[in-house]
Amino acid sequence: MLTHARRMTGVAIGRMHERFADIDAQTSEVVAVLRQAAAHTAFIRGRRDELYMAYREWKDLLAKWSTCPVRSFAECWALIDETYRFLPPRFMAYQGWKRTTEQRPMVRPRENVW
C-alpha cells in the first residue's frame, strides 16, 4: 500500500511541477508577453484556476497531514489509508483497452484427411 501511495504521490507532485514549468515557459520572455498581453493574461488565469482547483482537492488532506501526531501510530496509518483512497482516481496509471470494432477475416481451419 505504501509503495503505491508513494508512486501516485510522485505522479501528483510531478504534474504540479509540470504546471509551474509550463507557466514559467510561457511567461519567461517579457517582450513576447507584452506583445500578446490578452492571450497571456487568459493563459495565466486559466492556469491559476487549474492550480486553485488542484489545491482545493488536496486542501483537507494536507491539513490533516500537517496536524497528524507523529507518535500516534493508529492515526498515521488511518491517514495513510485515506491518502491511498484519495490518490487512485486522480493519479493511477492505466492503459485503456482498445476497442476492436473491425471484423477480422475468417480463417478456415485446415482439414485433416485420414
Q: Which residue has the higher pLDDT, 2 or 101?
A: 2
pLDDT tens, position by position, 4-30: 888 888 888 899 899 999 888 888 888
Going from the C-alpha of 50 to that of each of 47, 53, 114, the distances in angstroms are 5, 5, 71
Q: Contact at 8 Å (CB) between 105 and 25?
A: no
Q: Can you give the pLDDT at residue 72?
A: 79
All 3 cell numbers of residue 59? 486542501
Domain boundaries, the chain: 25-91
pLDDT at 114 over 60: no
- The pTM of this model reads 0.61
Measured from the Cβ of residue 100, the count of other Cβ atoms closer than 10 Å reads 7
Nearest CA to 40 out of 30, 53, 51, 55 is that of: 30
Query: Quick one: what percent of the chain has pLDDT higher than 70?
Result: 80
